């Protein structure tokens, strides 16, 4: 793994008093960069008969399925009342999943990702995970959590930092229609904001991961404000929206961190239950398996940092998720 490009590499066993360790304990001093039905039906039949799904076919299938799923360009709902609407919804879902199967074959996934359920009409109430509280913790501070309270068999995929900017990742995730959230660190993304504007245009929600990925509990209140609120300002300027979600570097924070984050518009601090790599998973819990609402962390990295590309990473983590019977949902639909 590539070391942090800064001088404040700190081991967590030397963390500041009052700091909370929400990340993994074995690595503390390094950055872990870490239109229509007939057309789509004909496409899918042809792909199945030939045993292959070419890039253009998969891309066409994905775009058509998204249109059938109610996105811009979708046909109007048929007449027929509730029964007609439900039938149309079921047909759209069937077509979307068929298109996903074509894309999964194209991208070399072991199995087709499962479809996520309809998001809840009311988002779950979030609280800080036990043991993750800070001094003076109360309900006024943004909750810190590693799992979203839900009975839906869904997990949430999040990617941190922004160092590796692989265009194949954007195309792959769009064709597979797999949602993910990106927590960006400015010093790693400022050389190519356009890449993340493309990701945002494809549906990715961008979150705050500070300006320079520093160990926040070791900074003063004002220094933390520059790191967190400064990044809020840049994200709003570059991407037109001020994030609600913030992830502190290394998963480490203190009372000042949460107070500062709240002061510049942060409402929640999602950490993670598991971390994904191209060749393995690392788990917070001893049972080493997924649970409803788990947040999965990975990073924008490539072959220069680990043994595999971003598409390799997606293939690996999606096998774990699908094999355990889970689908990937959009974090911001629940938080």
| Cα distance between residue 3 and residue 25, in whole Å | 16
Query: Is residue 1 exposed (0-12), middle (13-18) or buried (19+ Cβ within 10 Å)?
Result: middle
Residue 18: its pLDDT value, please? 66
Question: Tens place of pLDDT for every residue, the chain, 335 residues?
Answer: 333 333 333 334 344 556 787 765 433 333 333 333 343 444 343 444 444 434 444 554 444 444 434 343 334 444 455 656 888 888 998 999 999 999 999 999 999 999 999 999 999 999 999 999 999 889 999 999 999 999 999 999 999 999 999 999 999 999 999 999 999 999 999 999 999 999 999 999 999 999 999 999 999 999 999 999 999 999 999 999 999 999 999 999 999 999 999 999 999 999 999 999 999 999 999 999 999 999 999 999 999 899 899 999 999 999 999 999 999 999 999 99
| DSSP single-letter state for residue 100 | H
Q: In which residue ranges of the chain is CATH 3.20.20.370 found? A: 122-333
Residue 81: its pLDDT value, please? 57
Query: How many CA atoms are closer than 13 Å to the CA of 296, on its beta-carbon side?
Result: 29
| C-beta separation of 181 from 203 below 8 A | no
As a whole number of Å, the CA-based R_g of the chain is 21
Of 186, 252, 189, the C-alpha closest to 27 is 252
Q: What is the dihedral of CA 149, 328, 32, 133, to 10 degrees?
A: -10
pTM: 0.81
Among left, alpha and beta (phi > 0; psi -120 to 50; other), residue 16 is: beta
> Which uninterrupted H or E stretch holds 120?
none
CATH number of 122-333: 3.20.20.370
- Long-range (24+ apart) CB contacts under 8 A made by 193-196 are 193/238, 193/239, 195/165, 195/167, 195/170, 196/162, 196/239
Structure tokens at 325: 């019977």
Residue 36: its pLDDT value, please? 39
Of 278, 284, 271, the C-alpha closest to 305 is 278
Query: How many CA atoms are closer than 13 Å to the CA of 85, on its beta-carbon side?
Result: 3
């Amino acid at each position: 793994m590539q070391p942090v490009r800064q001088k404040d590499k700190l081991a967590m066993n030397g963390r500041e008093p009052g700091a909370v360790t929400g990340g993994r304990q074995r690595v503390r001093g390094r950055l872990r960069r870490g239109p229509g039905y007939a057309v789509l039906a004909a496409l899918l039949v042809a792909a199945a008969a030939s045993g292959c799904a070419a890039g253009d076919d998969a891309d066409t299938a994905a775009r058509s399925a998204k249109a059938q799923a109610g996105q811009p360009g979708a046909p109007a709902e048929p007449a027929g009342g509730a029964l007609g609407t439900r039938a149309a919804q079921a047909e759209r879902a069937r077509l979307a999943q068929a298109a996903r199967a074509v894309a999964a074959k194209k991208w070399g996934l072991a199995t087709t990702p499962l479809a996520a359920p309809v998001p809840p009409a009311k988002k779950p109430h979030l609280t800080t995970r036990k043991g993750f509280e800070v001094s003076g913790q109360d309900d006024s501070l943004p909750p810190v959590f590693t799992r979203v309270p839900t009975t839906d068999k869904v997990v949430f995929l999040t990617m941190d930092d922004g160092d590796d900017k692989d265009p194949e990742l954007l195309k792959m995730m769009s064709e597979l229609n797999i949602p993910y959230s990106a927590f960006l660190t400015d010093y790693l993304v400022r050389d190519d904001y356009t890449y993340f504007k493309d990701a945002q245009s494809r549906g990715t929600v961008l979150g705050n991961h500070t300006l320079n990925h520093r160990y926040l509990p070791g900074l003063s209140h004002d220094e933390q404000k520059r790191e967190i609120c400064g990044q809020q300002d840049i994200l709003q300027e570059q991407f037109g929206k001020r994030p609600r979600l913030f992830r502190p570097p290394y998963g480490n924070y203190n009372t000042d961190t949460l107070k500062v984050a709240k002061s510049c518009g942060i409402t929640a601090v999602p950490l993670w239950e598991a971390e994904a790599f191209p060749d393995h998973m690392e788990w917070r819990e001893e049972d080493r398996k997924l649970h409803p609402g788990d947040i999965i962390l990975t990073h924008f990295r490539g072959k220069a940092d680990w043994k595999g590309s971003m598409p390799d990473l997606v293939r690996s983590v999606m096998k774990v998720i699908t094999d355990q019977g889970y689908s990937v949902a959009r974090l911001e639909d629940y938080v």
